[in-house]
Structure 1
Amino acid sequence: MHAIRIMPNLRVADIGAARSFYTGFLGLGTEEFDLGWVARYTSPETGANVQLVTRDATSAEDAAISVHTPDVDAAYAEAQSLGYEIVHPLTVEEWGVRRFLVRAPDGNIVNVVAHRD
């Protein structure tokens, strides 16, 4: 597996209610996207970012982090060969990513994702 970016997924009850803290106080002023259940905010100066998540739209489990990789198919095959529990199968989601969710041995759920170019 080749990770090119790892992003925290913070669980929030309401993205709209949480937005001003992350965009104002923390300075993550750029909203990269907001799907209603997940939104990403980034600092225009530093590139620091975070995703706020209310509840994953298609997976029964929520991920603690999202790991971006250029080859999600290879990562999926490797996770399977190592015997890790796949909690959401390799899927092309309607919002344009290809991803799967895997349980780490410590119990954390990891969203492994590749964006279409």
Structure 2
Amino acid sequence: MRVTRIIADLPVADVQAAKGFYTGYLGLGTEEFDLGWVARYTSPDTGATLQLVSRDASAPEVPAISVSTDDVDAAYAEAQQLGYEIVHPLTTEPWGVRRFFVRAPDGTVINVVRHRD
């Protein structure tokens, strides 16, 4: 798999309640998107990025990180071939990403994703 970006997915009880700390105090002032249950904030100065996640809209678990790749279908096939547990099957989500969740051998759930161009 070719990884193009890794973003931490921080579990929070309420995205809107948590937003002020991360955008104000930490300076992650650029809101890339906000779907209510997940929002991504980036520093306009440094490019540092964090996603706040209160739940997942279609998957059974909240991932620890989101890993972007340029070929999510190949990454899915490789994960299956290697025998890794698929937590959420390869899916094209209504909000425009194609993704799956895989559990690393240490138990960490990872969102492997390809964003629309």
Q: Does the alignment reach a TM-score above 0.5?
A: yes
**What is the match of residue 7 of structure 1?**
7
Q: Does 1:90 align with 2:90?
A: yes
| CA displacement, residues 6-56 of structure 1 (integer Å, 9 cap, x when unaligned) | 000000001111001000000000000000000000001110010000001
What is the letter of the counterpart of residue 52 of structure 2? Answer: L
Aligned letter for 1:34? D
SS at match of 1:33: strand
Q: Which residues of 2 match residues 7-46 of structure 1 at below 5 A?
A: 7-46=7-46
Find the counterpart in structure 2 of residue 47 from structure 1: 47
Q: CA deviation at 1:116?
A: 1.0
DSSP-derived class of the 2:3 partner: coil
2: distance between equivalents of 1:18 and 1:116? 27
Secondary structure of 2:10's match? Answer: strand
Q: Quote how far apart the aligned CAs of 1:62 are.
A: 1.1
Gaps of 5+ in 2: none
**Residue of structure 2 equivalent to 1:74:** 74
Q: Detail structure 1 runs of 4+ shifted over 4 Å in the superposition.
A: none
> In structure 2, what is the Cα distance between the partners aligned to 1:63 and 1:15?
15
* 1:76 Cα offset (Å): 0.3
Q: How far apart are residue 5 of structure 1 and its match?
A: 0.4
Q: Residues of 1 paired with 2:100 and 2:79: CA distance? A: 10
Within 2, Cα distance between the matches of 1:13 and 1:112? 23
TM-score, with normalisation over the residues of structure 2? 0.99
**1:47 is matched by which residue type in structure 2?**
G
TM-score (normalizing by structure 1): 0.99
RMSD (Å) for aligned C-alpha atoms: 0.4
- Specify the alignment match of 2:99 in structure 1: 99
Give the counterpart letter for 1:92 in structure 2: T
In 2, Cα distance between the equivalents of 1:61 and 1:105? 16
Q: Which amino acid aligns with 1:111?
A: N
Gap runs ≥5 in structure 1: none
Distance 2:62 2:34 in 1: 17
